[in-house]
Every structure is written in C-alpha cells, then in structure tokens.
Amino acid sequence: MQIKVGIIGGTGLDNNRELIEQRTEIVIDTAYGSVPVIEGVISGVNCVLLARHGKSHNVMPSNVNYRGNIMALKILGCTHVIATTATGSLKQEIAPGSIVILNDAIDRTKNRVSTFYDGSDLFPGVCHLPMSPLMDEKTRQIIIDTAKELGIEVFKDGTAVCIEGPRFSTKAESNMFRSWGCDLVNMTIVPEVVLAKEQGLLYASIAMATDYDCWRENTDGRVCVEEVMATFKNNVEKVTKIILGVIPNIAKLDWTETIQDLNSLITGSVMLPDQ
C-alpha cells in the first residue's frame, strides 16, 4: 500500500520549508475550518507539512485547530503522522537539546475538544478508544533505529505531561509532575495524538527538550520563550536529519496490516446509538 506522511511542525519547526521538495502550498477545507499545508515529496515519498501553530506561530496551544489539522492530513490521504514538539525537561539527565521519542502522556489539558465523535452527524456514536499504547510502536521504532543509523543520540521513550498553557508550570506543579514519573512537559501532544488515532493515522512524536522547566533548586528556575526558541534553533538540524531519514525507512515497510488493525480497533471502540 502507498504511504503518505504528514509532518506536524511544532515550535521552531513550523516554518521548515526546506524539508520538502516539489512544494505546493494549498488550503484544505475541513468541517473544522480551513487548514494551510504544504504538499511535496521527501526521498520520493509523498508528504504533507503542516505548521501546528500557524505559519507565523500566532496560534496559542489551547487554540490550535487540532481537529482541523488532523482532518486535513486525513483528507490528503496521509497514513502516518510524525509530529515534532518543544518540551520542558523534568529530569536532570534529559538536558536541553536532548531528543526524546515519546511513548506516553498524561493529560492535564482543560479546554480542548479531544474527539471527533462529539455527537455530530459526521462521526456518530461515542468513541472509547484505548490509549495504550499511545503512539504507533512500529513508527516509533523506525524513528529510534533511524536516529541510531545517523549517530544521533535519542532517549528511546518518555512520558510527557500535557498542560493547558499558555503559561508555564508553577514550581509546585513541576515537582508534582516529576513525582508522577513524567519526563517532559509540553502543551500540544493532547489531543493531537488522540485525534490522529481516531482517524486511523499512525502517529509518533519527536520531542525536543528545550529547557529544564522550573523544578531545579539553586537556579533562577525560570523558563523563558527566548530560551525555548534558542535551544530549538540550535538543535533543529538533528530533528530535521531524523525526519529526512525516517521517511524512506517508513516507505520500505508494508503497513497494510498495521493500518487494518488500527481501523478494527476504532470500529470496535465506537458505540453506535440504537437504530
């Protein structure tokens, strides 16, 4: 089966147009609003580039059009989503600049629609989709193996707590997340990963630690946007290299069964109203 990869660029990677060849800028009309994307090709594989926070990073995490973004990728025929995300580190060993291939999350968001099955006619029924495993394991493994091939060090798993934002955490919150065993804190992984799964898209996320959040003693303990952006800029090349290596490696495998399995999971998770 033919694959197509949606690449969701987070903070620092939202304008990385160099990633993709034969670029065409288009706007996809979805039931959730219009979504600008760039279609193109990476190593002969069809890809779609989407800036999560808008082209000029002017959409805050709570206002990201998560459903529109995922639906645009679905309409364009994507089979996979590789997302990038800036995160705060909650562990000493995950120094700023480190890359973590996320495998789990804790949801602390408050104001986001996190399902397509919201009672509308578009997606009838109630969808109780299992969230373990959260990401597509096969895609995650390809990312880990590709980074190894390229000699780029990554943490092979990590749990991110997703906060509502746009403010950063308090020290008490940051320490609570650490006590929960979280490795990273970010503002966007939920509901993006959930919505992608509902649409049968194989999703994996490359997280970059951009700061130590505010839990560390004997530091001024502040996170600032400037630091987040500077760390991302200095390390963006690593993320770009991994993505460029991952796409052809995804294309080498047959995904028919993986996609069928996910679709069966979705069908089995939707409770339809009595006819």
Where in the sequence numbering do the catalytic residues fall? 211, 213
Query: Measured from the CB atom, is 139 or 186 closer to ligand ADE?
Result: 186
Residues 172-211 that bind ligand ADE (CB under 6 A): 185-187, 210-211
Q: State yes or no: residue 162 binds ligand ADE (CB under 6 A).
A: no
Establish if 213 lies at the interface with ligand ADE (CB under 6 A).
yes
Which residue is it, tokens 């986001």? Answer: 112
Using the minimum distance from each CB to ligand ADE, give the nearer residue, 136 or 213.
213
In this chain, which stretch among 37-45, 80-88, 99-107, 197-205 interacts with ligand ADE, using CB under 6 A? 80-88
Phi-psi region of 194 (alpha: psi -120 to 50; beta: other; left: phi over 0): alpha
Residue 134 found at the interface with ligand ADE (CB under 6 A): no
Q: Which of 117, 168, 203, 215 contacts ligand ADE by CB under 6 A?
A: 168
Task: List the one residue out of 62, 49, 89 whose CA is nearest residue 228.
Answer: 89
The alpha carbon torsion through 137, 188, 67, 136 (nearest 10 deg) reads 0
Q: How far is the CB of 96 from ligand ADE (least distance, A)?
A: 9
Which of residues 202 and 228 has its CB atom nearest to ligand ADE in the complex?
Answer: 228
Q: Give DSSP secondary structure letters for 181-219.
A: T--EEESSHHHHHHHHHHTT-EEEEEEEEEE-TT--TTS
Stretch touching ligand ADE by CB under 6 A, among 49-57, 161-169, 246-254, 257-265: 161-169
Q: Are 202 and 79 in contact (CB under 8 A)?
A: yes
DSSP code for 92: T
Q: How far apart are CA 183 and CA 48, in angstroms?
A: 29
- Residues in the chain, how many? 275
Does the footprint of ligand ADE cover residue 229 (CB under 6 A)? no
- Smallest separation, CB 243 to ligand ADE (Å): 19
Stretch that binds ligand ADE, among 84-92, 103-111, 115-123, 244-252 (CB under 6 A): 84-92
What CA–CA distance (Å, rounded) separates 22 from 269? 39
- For residue 139, give the amino acid letter: T
* Shortest Cβ 209–ligand ADE spacing (Å): 8
Query: Residue from 223, 229, 266, 270 that binds ligand ADE (CB under 6 A)?
Result: 223
Stretch that binds ligand ADE, among 96-104, 147-155, 162-170, 196-204 (CB under 6 A): 162-170
**Cα separation values, 201 from 30, 57, 168, 238, Å:** 17, 24, 30, 25
Does 9 engage in binding with ligand ADE (CB under 6 A)? no
Give the Å distances, CA to CA, from 116 to 133, 193, 194.
20, 12, 10
235 binds ligand ADE (CB under 6 A): no
Closer residue to ligand ADE, CB minimum distance, 72 or 90? 90
Q: Which parts of this chain interact with ligand ADE (CB under 6 A)? A: 86-88, 163, 168-169, 185-187, 210-211, 213, 223, 228
